[in-house]
A and B are shown apart, each in its own frame.
Chain A
């Protein structure tokens, strides 16, 4: 993978924004999707009540997760599905490997699953001689470019069609310079059709899992999950524990919200309800914890488990739109990624909750009403308290705390600041001051408000 793990969000974003034309295009493409979401949601008068209901159902799931999991497991077993439990990414990957190995399968096709990206399943299996092909077009493009997805719904939204044409020229032998989206899609369709026809195993993600019936729902627009699953002799589904919903009728709420929030469509083209294996087929479902239980125990952050992965918080986020998903160096990027990632590794992802203006737009569009910007703010406090804040931030905050702790310090610091800005401006106007990047510093006033007030009173 090309992804850099040593650089923080600010450094990776700085690299992304160097190409101004691309940033403007990226910003516009995502805002266009946000607008489509607005149009779709405004056609439903009861939209806000649907969000309320979805949030309340997910609260109920979070508060009864233990019982729902047991109910779901019992129903899956009754339906003839083999259930596996994985505490972490390694266990998940080992389970997939053992299922394939038992059948001597060396090639698998996979539809979109952020969980398996998070677990780095493809890399794990490739090291053991098993080839995995991602069948979602965007994910396929990212895979041949050896890059992780930059958006959970639109994996290659940061790429230009000419770049994709170049990748297809290199990997699929298309004519050089071909960049027409329809023609490129037709080439991928043909290539991946052959993949579907020849793979004995297919893995899918899960959008919703119904405790009451033991069925799980997979939503796609391309039809790739169904092509893989229905042609396979071994079907595997991987899901995080939080994907459960109590009853089938609750799907009406979530399916009305999901696609409208994600892309402005009234529903995804395919909403497939998988319940029992086909005769002669094996069906496996892997329930993965990988930090979810830990997040459940964090009172301030457990609501993040309500997420239905629509991506609307990314499309609306001014920081995401202008910095690109890859700058978050985490499988799930954007505002929701920034509240999920620190749970898994606070030190590694300490920069992410700071990659936000806290404007609150994410919380306003979230279909399950997660207080995303509130949680970002909470994570900042948590990260500083744990000592994981970047040095410049920690030093700055200490200096600020000292300055604000006594009126004398405050007055002296103000005087010093004004003196420096007037007499030796390069002390603040230099590349070491992050506030000076892409900004002009304001002209400092000649005197402070307190000084002016005292002088005016005397007159």
Chain B
């Protein structure tokens, strides 16, 4: 540490970054276009019933479906924080809600509380996230303004299904995390 102090140059100031702001118009349309472009599926819905219908159409409901949302109790099994995370290995579909999402890159901000357990949005084969249309911000600048000083043990942005292009730059959706990601924008 003394060497660090000795070797570091004279102090320079931090830049002002308050001028970085995104365009706040057409956020729903922009978010939907970007999320589809990165390999996700996005639906604009009005009711929880519509969400259930779309999920029933697209996923095998005979397999294990888990959720953090009490209103989906009965449709899916409620995630409990006390269970060993390894026990969710066979989760086919996880349905959770997101805090907000970012129009410029398609990412959804998820806190540990919203995940139910940290492992949930990574271990499930398919991930579905419900976000209110009013909770879309233009860029990451507004995103971090919104996160502010909120405390958490773990949080993360998730922007689409897991992917890799390690073999000859061929894009493959479904690396180690979910094979698909669906976002429901609730009007």
Given the contacts A253-B17, A296-B7, A273 and B154 also touching, CB distance less than 8 Å: yes
Q: Which of A256-282 contact B (CB under 8 A)?
A: 256, 263, 265-278
Quick one: CB contact mask for B153-187 with A, threshold 8 Å, 1 for yes? 11111111111111111101011111000000000
Q: Is the CB of B167 within 8 A of A161?
A: yes
Interface-forming stretch among A243-251, A325-333, A358-366, A426-434? Answer: A243-251
Chain B residues, Cβ within 8 Å of A229: 118
Q: How far apart are the CA atoms of A193 and B86 in the complex, in Å? A: 11
CB closest residue in chain B, given A64:
B11
Given the contacts A66-B1, A181-B167, A253-B20, A230 and B85 also touching, CB distance less than 8 Å: yes
Question: Is A56 an interface position by the 8 A CB rule?
Answer: yes
Residue from the set B117, B169, B174 with the largest chain A CB neighbour count within 10 Å: B169
Q: Is the CB of B156 within 8 A of A185?
A: no
Partner of A270, one of B14, B15, B156: B156
Interface-forming stretch among B41-49, B66-74, B104-112? Answer: B104-112
Q: How far apart are the CA atoms of A182 and B118 in the complex, in Å? A: 27
Given the contacts A192-B176, A223-B177, A224-B175, A266 and B123 also touching, CB distance less than 8 Å: no
Q: How far apart are the CA atoms of A182 and B164 in the complex, in Å? A: 10
Chain B residues, Cβ within 8 Å of A33: 169
Q: Which of B43-66 contact A (CB under 8 A)?
A: none
Question: Is B4 an interface position by the 8 A CB rule?
Answer: yes
Partner of B4, one of A32, A57, A66, A182: A66
Question: Is A137 an interface position by the 8 A CB rule?
Answer: yes
Q: Which of A145-178 contact B (CB under 8 A)?
A: 154-157, 159-161, 164
Question: Is B143 an interface position by the 8 A CB rule?
Answer: yes
Determine how close the nearest CB of chain A comes to the CB of B56; give it in whole angstroms.
Answer: 26
Interface of A is mostly: helix
Q: How far apart are the CA atoms of A125 and B164 in the complex, in Å? A: 28
Quick one: CB contact mask for B76-105 with A, threshold 8 Å, 1 for yes? 000000000110010000000000001011
Question: Is A399 an interface position by the 8 A CB rule?
Answer: no
Chain B residues, Cβ within 8 Å of A64: 8, 11
CB closest residue in chain A, given B16:
A53
Q: Is the CB of A65 within 8 A of B4?
A: yes
Q: How far apart are the CA atoms of A275 and B92 in the complex, in Å? A: 28
Q: How far apart are the CA atoms of A278 and B115 in the complex, in Å? A: 13
Determine how close the nearest CB of chain A comes to the CB of B5; give it in whole angstroms.
Answer: 4
Question: Is A84 an interface position by the 8 A CB rule?
Answer: no
Determine how close the nearest CB of chain B comes to the CB of A250; give it in whole angstroms.
Answer: 7
CB closest residue in chain A, given B175:
A222
Chain A residues, Cβ within 8 Å of B144: 248-249, 251-252
Interface of B is mostly: loop
Q: Is the CB of A241 within 8 A of B169?
A: no
Q: How far apart are the CA atoms of A410 and B162 in the complex, in Å? A: 63
Question: Is B25 an interface position by the 8 A CB rule?
Answer: no
CB closest residue in chain A, given B151:
A275
Q: Which of A378-408 contact B (CB under 8 A)?
A: none
CB closest residue in chain B, given A194:
B89
Q: Which of A178-224 contact B (CB under 8 A)?
A: 181-182, 184-186, 189, 192-193, 196-197, 221-224
CB closest residue in chain A, given B13:
A60
CB closest residue in chain A, given B103:
A266
Chain A residues, Cβ within 8 Å of B165: 154, 263
Q: Is the CB of A275 within 8 A of B154?
A: yes
Chain B residues, Cβ within 8 Å of A249: 17, 141, 144-145
Q: How far apart are the CA atoms of A296 and B8 in the complex, in Å? A: 6
Q: Is the CB of B167 within 8 A of A221?
A: no
Q: How far apart are the CA atoms of A255 and B4 in the complex, in Å? A: 27
Partner of B156, one of A53, A69, A272: A272
Question: Is B119 an interface position by the 8 A CB rule?
Answer: yes
Question: Is B134 an interface position by the 8 A CB rule?
Answer: no
Question: Is B133 an interface position by the 8 A CB rule?
Answer: no
Determine how close the nearest CB of chain B comes to the CB of A237; give it in whole angstroms.
Answer: 13
Chain A residues, Cβ within 8 Å of B38: 265-266, 269
Q: Is the CB of B85 within 8 A of A222?
A: no
Q: How far apart are the CA atoms of A248 and B152 in the complex, in Å? A: 13
Determine how close the nearest CB of chain B comes to the CB of A290; give it in whole angstroms.
Answer: 13
Q: Is the CB of B7 within 8 A of A273?
A: no
29 A-B pairs in the complex with CB atoms less than 8 angstroms apart: A62-B8, A63-B10, A64-B8, A66-B4, A70-B1, A137-B166, A138-B164, A181-B172, A221-B175, A222-B175, A222-B176, A224-B175, A224-B176, A252-B20, A252-B143, A253-B17, A253-B20, A265-B38, A266-B105, A267-B105, A267-B157, A270-B122, A270-B156, A271-B107, A272-B155, A272-B156, A275-B153, A278-B118, A293-B3
Q: Which 4 A-B pairs have the closest CB atoms?
A: A223-B177, A297-B7, A222-B175, A266-B105
